[in-house]
Chains A and B, each alone.
Chain A
């Protein structure tokens, strides 16, 4: 590819990510993030692990709800953008930003967070990565805590699925050009959560059924196998 064309698309991605997402979703994404924040932060001072914080749009909603947030992302440019817009909570100590991959969450202690949450991060991951991350989320969240996901899911109604298939190539191309996002619709998040030992207790949808806020908690009946055994 022409390096100029590629770099011009990529270099401006962090700065225009939030505005692009807001525009492309006609405001549905910020509304979904508000809803997710209210589920992930039931009381002030809830300790939250945010996976894939990007430029910090959802982080702001979590902080506004009263959370103390540990936010991770692997992309230094996105984190730098987040640090610029979240300088106050960083200085106050209610927010910690870490440059690390989701795959390195295995270093976190068991039962260490009240909530684990992610907005538009899982649909950017491969199936392997998502499965790994959800197992880690299930492990690090406290038994009475919750895992809250905002993401692009396959709609439940048939006509909505048909509409999604018909328009997906166009919306995906537009999203890549505007925000640099390369998300893929998650076909069965509930099943993937179940495989990680989590059960859904709340779900709401918008954008013709394709944008979901899903809240899950640890399934007490599930005997969670050691990670190495599951992966093998």
Chain B
């Protein structure tokens, strides 16, 4: 059993870029009763296992909603984990027959896709957004369902960086090894080593390099000699041939291009680099703000500051915003909205309906501009 779990951990670390669904439905931790906490999550297998592991020793209900096997944040932003999926899970999992209360906890990163007020209106369930990470659940529950700042922010520390490096190096090295095995079997191992080395290097240092105005190009120029030099060294050690060294430099360039093309989109520190929404800005209409603080509660980058004396918020850390849209989706006053490059207001209702970057409306291609 433990061996299976380890194998699954390894497979999921390497194949993280692909959906890995587990059956939606109700799970129990310990011996929960009618008043035990109800925790909702998406059906990405790794997430469900992490939630169940984090809750070990407690009594709780875990309702797994369909997110099409994709992790919570990506699924919520892409419309795969939405108000509809949460209502469906609450109504069909059997949880309503097992608890006497109608309060449930969602991961904070689901706030981009799940409208808490709409779930309450349509199902009678009152949702709260819990911590970003499952491992903080026991601390959150012990604190009487209160989050401190550390539970509210996404991290991109060594562990998360290595996870993303695995996610890219895994498929890249498998693909390169297969190609090499067909044409030049002797190059298979060096190419695998190269893939892992470059992926780890990129995710550990790329965003920490000095940037400036020409941020992408400058980082590229700083990273390429490292990647190419490292690859040439590995090739020289394995075969020593000029052709191998030249091939290593070429493949290093290609790998680096692949990994850095949408580096920001592979991390929680920036929005994707290639969407129109990258140039949008979150705007606050202070007249409409009534100090509900739902934006402050769900922002994964702590961009907002509470102004207790006026019962308002202010966007104190604009530069951190990743344009996830969670604050827009949750604000009951529509006091927060995106404005595009030309300063036009994107209606919050459009963001709620079509999620991040208007993904749904772009898929339909109505020929109209949904933002104005």
Residues in A100-150 with C-beta less than 8 Å from chain B: 100-104, 106, 125-129, 131-133
Per a CB cutoff under 8 Å, which of B77, B79, B273, B366 touches A75? B79
Top 6 closest pairs, chain A to chain B, by CB: A77-B360, A3-B265, A74-B84, A126-B24, A3-B272, A103-B91
Take A4-B265, A232-B94 as given contacts and tell me if A77 and B79 are in contact as well, using a CB distance cutoff of 8 Å: yes
Per a CB cutoff under 8 Å, which of B94, B265, B364 touches A128? B94
Residues in B248-272 with C-beta less than 8 Å from chain A: 261-262, 265-266, 271-272
Alpha-carbon distance A128/B78, docked complex (angstroms):
24
Q: Do A176 and B19 have beta carbons less than 8 Å apart?
A: yes
Per a CB cutoff under 8 Å, which of A2, A4, A7, A132 touches B92? A132
Q: Do B363 and A76 have beta carbons less than 8 Å apart?
A: no
Q: Do B17 and A2 have beta carbons less than 8 Å apart?
A: yes
Give the residues in chain A near B357, CB-CB below 8 Å.
7
Instruction: Judge if A20 is at the interface, Cβ distance under 8 Å.
Output: no
Q: Do B68 and A182 have beta carbons less than 8 Å apart?
A: yes
Q: Do B92 and A103 have beta carbons less than 8 Å apart?
A: yes
Give the residues in chain A near B154, CB-CB below 8 Å.
none
Q: A179-217, CB under 8 A of B: which get 1 and which 0? A: 000100000000000000000000000000000000000
Q: Could you name 25 residue pairs across A and B whose Cβ atoms are closer than 8 Å?
A: A1-B17, A1-B71, A1-B266, A2-B266, A3-B266, A3-B272, A5-B262, A6-B78, A7-B78, A7-B275, A7-B359, A10-B79, A13-B363, A76-B360, A77-B361, A77-B364, A81-B364, A84-B364, A126-B24, A126-B92, A128-B93, A128-B94, A131-B92, A231-B97, A232-B97
Alpha-carbon distance A231/B98, docked complex (angstroms):
10
Instruction: Judge if A15 is at the interface, Cβ distance under 8 Å.
Output: yes
Q: A1-35, CB under 8 A of B: which get 1 and which 0? A: 11111110011111100000000000000000000
Q: Which of A13, A74, A103, A133 has the most CB of B within 10 A?
A: A103
Q: B111-132, CB under 8 A of A: which get 1 and which 0? A: 0000000000010000000000
Interface on B for A, CB 8 Å cutoff? 16-17, 19, 21, 23-26, 66, 68-71, 74, 77-80, 82, 84-85, 87-88, 91-94, 96-97, 122, 167, 261-262, 265-266, 271-275, 353-354, 356-357, 359-366
Alpha-carbon distance A133/B274, docked complex (angstroms):
40
Instruction: Judge if A223 is at the interface, Cβ distance under 8 Å.
Output: no
Take A7-B357, A77-B354 as given contacts and tell me if A126 and B25 are in contact as well, using a CB distance cutoff of 8 Å: yes
Give the residues in chain A near B356, CB-CB below 8 Å.
7
Nearest CB of B to A89, in Å: 18
Alpha-carbon distance A190/B23, docked complex (angstroms):
20
Give the residues in chain A near B265, CB-CB below 8 Å.
2-5
Nearest CB of A to B257, in Å: 13
How many residue pairs between the two chains, A and B, have CB atoms under 8 Å in the bound complex? Answer: 129
Instruction: Judge if A70 is at the interface, Cβ distance under 8 Å.
Output: no
Q: Do A129 and B92 have beta carbons less than 8 Å apart?
A: yes
Give the residues in chain B near A228, CB-CB below 8 Å.
97
Q: Do A129 and B24 have beta carbons less than 8 Å apart?
A: yes
Q: Do A126 and B23 have beta carbons less than 8 Å apart?
A: yes
Alpha-carbon distance A7/B94, docked complex (angstroms):
33
Nearest CB of B to A136, in Å: 10
Beyond contacts A4-B273, A77-B360, A77-B364: 18 other A-B pairs, Cβ-Cβ < 8 A, are: A1-B266, A3-B77, A3-B265, A4-B275, A6-B70, A7-B275, A10-B79, A12-B363, A75-B360, A80-B361, A81-B363, A81-B364, A102-B88, A104-B91, A128-B92, A128-B93, A133-B92, A182-B21
Which residue on B lies nearest to A176, using beta carbons?
Answer: B19
Give the residues in chain B near A129, CB-CB below 8 Å.
24, 66, 88, 92
Give the residues in chain A near B92, CB-CB below 8 Å.
103, 126, 128-129, 131-133
Nearest CB of B to A131, in Å: 8
Which residue on A lies nearest to B266, using beta carbons?
Answer: A2
Q: Do A15 and B363 have beta carbons less than 8 Å apart?
A: yes
Take A3-B271, A75-B79, A101-B84 as given contacts and tell me if A14 and B262 are in contact as well, using a CB distance cutoff of 8 Å: no
Which residue on A lies nearest to B25, using beta carbons?
Answer: A128
Which residue on B lies nearest to A13, using beta carbons?
Answer: B363
Give the residues in chain A near B266, CB-CB below 8 Å.
1-3
Alpha-carbon distance A132/B91, docked complex (angstroms):
9
Nearest CB of A to B363, in Å: 5
Q: Do A3 and B262 have beta carbons less than 8 Å apart?
A: yes
Give the residues in chain B near A77, CB-CB below 8 Å.
79, 354, 359-361, 363-364
Q: Do B364 and A14 have beta carbons less than 8 Å apart?
A: yes
Give the residues in chain B near A15, CB-CB below 8 Å.
363-365
Give the residues in chain B near A76, CB-CB below 8 Å.
79, 353-354, 360
Nearest CB of A to B98, in Å: 8
Alpha-carbon distance A7/B357, docked complex (angstroms):
9
Q: Which of B19, B77, B360, B363 has the most CB of A within 10 A?
A: B363
Nearest CB of B to A217, in Å: 24
Which residue on A lies nearest to B82, using beta carbons?
Answer: A74
Give the residues in chain B near A133, CB-CB below 8 Å.
92
Alpha-carbon distance A80/B88, docked complex (angstroms):
21
Q: Do A103 and B87 have beta carbons less than 8 Å apart?
A: yes
Q: Which of A76, A84, A125 has the most CB of B within 10 A?
A: A76
Which residue on A lies nearest to B273, using beta carbons?
Answer: A4
Alpha-carbon distance A104/B124, docked complex (angstroms):
12
Residues in A39-67 with C-beta less than 8 Å from chain B: none
Q: Do B17 and A5 have beta carbons less than 8 Å apart?
A: yes
Q: Do B274 and A10 have beta carbons less than 8 Å apart?
A: no
Take A2-B265, A5-B262, A231-B97 as given contacts and tell me if A10 and B78 are in contact as well, using a CB distance cutoff of 8 Å: yes
Nearest CB of B to A8, in Å: 9
